[in-house]
Structure 1
Amino acid sequence: MTSPETAPIETGTAPQTPRTGRAKRRAIVASGTIAGLLLAGSVGAWANAAAQKDVTLTVDGDVIEATTYRDNVEGLLTEHGVELGEHDELSHPAGTDLADGLAIEVVRAQEVAVLLDGEQESVWTTAEHAGEALAEYLAQGREAAMLVSRSTDRAEIDLPLSSPAVFVVGGEERTVELIPGSTLASGLEQADIELGDLDEVTVTSDQDGRSVVTVVAVSVQEVTETETVAFTSTEVTSDDYLQGTSRVTTEGVDGEITRVYEVTTRDGEEVDRELVSEETTQEMVQEVVTVGTREPEPEPVATSSGSSSSSSGSSSSTGSSSSGSSSADQGSAPTSGVWAQLAQCESGGNPSIVSSNGLYHGLYQFSVSTWQSVGGSGLPSQASAAEQLERAKILQARSGWGQWPACASKLGLL
């Protein structure tokens, strides 16, 4: 039996499927893709270059040279983390498109304490210095000043001073060129002004926007003053002294009050005074004048010794009459009371006595000039005792008991 025949295998080259078209398409596609990518890259590079901007951003004086792809100012601020406060100033609106070379500035606002028309207020300002901040209010006709803090050892304000600045001390004004950005304390040092503990400092502005610093020297000192209190006088009565007479029985002495004041001065002018203490440093002594109330003793009745002798013999009568006539001329000296006591002390009660030097006469030892000043004539020692008493009373009423100092003191009349 024969095996089944195997069909012969052809060894010739098998026909190849045509590939030329697909490969070309792939090559074309590949070439196109590469070209597209190259074109896209060029366009993208151009677009990126067009989107990139070189700008300058200044925030509170700090300058940033920025390269950004942001479209507008707001985006730039966001990119750099800059947040605007309600009162801050921006040089360009937030929606402004960015462009190469654009300079954007952010100025931060500060809250400062000022006195406006005498009232303290807090205001926001973007001014660089105090003068500029206040100039706007002054231009409106308002009174404006920067409040100065004395909470530290050095006076300060919320803003630096302008340069130059004007300093007014003791009413004298001078202009000083300051280092830019100088604080008030620094400006005072540069102007060689040393503040006292209580001195007042005011910062205002002039019409040119310059800071004007006014310093008022304030002093508080204790001042001691004394006041003299004049003594007063009072009268009392006493029968130790005759009517119509008086004497000072207690000498008056002026009193004194010492007061201590706290006195405040501004530039040497007193503006306030407060009483700190008051003390009587010398008591006033009241003068006491004692007025006499005692009535004088009645004058004795003068009698003529000649009358009693007339009943005797004629020779006696004649002698008595002569003696009586002499007594009548002299009268009788007082025998009791203060005038009798004074006469006894001054002259021994002798109305015709004359002092050894011949200057003083009679009961009360009148000098001739004093006698004449009270209406007497002739010599006092030649007048009657009654007239001498009358003239003595006139003298005492006019000049007091001091006319007879020794005897008046001895008798307690002085």
Structure 2
Amino acid sequence: MHKQVTVDVDGRTVQVEGFGRTVGAVLAGAKIKVGDGDLVAPTLNDPVTQGEQIVVRHGRDLDVVVDGKPDKVWTTALTVGEAIDGMGLRDGDVRLSASRSAPLGRDALRVSTQKTIHLVVDGQMIDGVSSAGDVRDALKDVGLVLNEGDQVSVPLDATAVDGLVVLVTRAQTDAQTKTEAVKFDTDEVDDPGLTKGQKVVVTKGKAGVRTTTYQLDSVGGVVTDRTVLSSVVTTEPVTQVVHIGTMEMPDPSSITVAPGSAKAIAKGLAADRGWGDDQFACLVSLWNRESGWRVSAANPSGAYGIPQALPGSKMASVGADWRTNPVTQITWGLGYIKSRYKTPCGAWAHSQSSGWY
């Protein structure tokens, strides 16, 4: 039977007419090539109906440089943001060489992740958090002001790495003013929305600046006396706030799973991913809240199904029967959790603190 379908090929929409019965046959008839690593939704073997919309995303190796280390990742993303999401990186913890909305080009994507920098300066140790790519910007992030002539133990244009120790030696001059770093405090706050023992930096600390003015008395060019005229904190330090998780994980022994139920299906698929009873308990709590494990659960926002995919049609990447098949919905949901939160307990912790996942 002759059909007309819409095909979205890497963001470009084309109208295709043909007699093919399956997605694969229609694409072949339109001379649209797909490979093993490409994304096709619905799948190649799914039947095609009049007016069907087919999505094709061609995969390719993307050159990425993460914290100065080159690598390649396989992606079907169209934008920088989609590629970063596929790598499982969180927005607040990275800096990118291009905006998230920018089309994914052929140039290498440079990514700088969050890291801890240890500064030894003005007789004290300052531990700061930064996602800057080089030492110069990392020092700015933690609030360090370098004076003319100050020496740094690491080149300022060197790549910033986690755990980097930077020794700052202040220049000794006969200037009448001097700036010193003011160490910031760290507040730890119990957070019942985070998994017990989990730590999240909510507010990054920044060192303050103290400016001191001296009167120098000299004899024959040699300073014999130095008197403090004023000493003022010109930039207040920013307190670093760290949330410490106190939430106990669900008890796996309290969960009853009926054979053949959606929970039974999910338990098996979770086990295939290497997730044990503890992770399954988090998954049960998460989807109890989201949908009550109902395949047809619908939300006015457009979220649908057991995992409450938004929109529900996202699950078509797994199967055309996404509206009714719990296996399709659960398979998509577990893949989403893996790519964005690593584990069900990670997704559950985020849901507890934010009300969504």
TM-score surpassing 0.5? no
Tell me which of the two structures has the higher relative contact order, counting C-alpha pairs closer than 8 angstroms and 6 or more residues apart: 2
More strand by share: 2
Using the size of structure 2 for normalisation, the TM-score is: 0.29
TM-score (normalised: structure 1): 0.26
More helix by share: 1
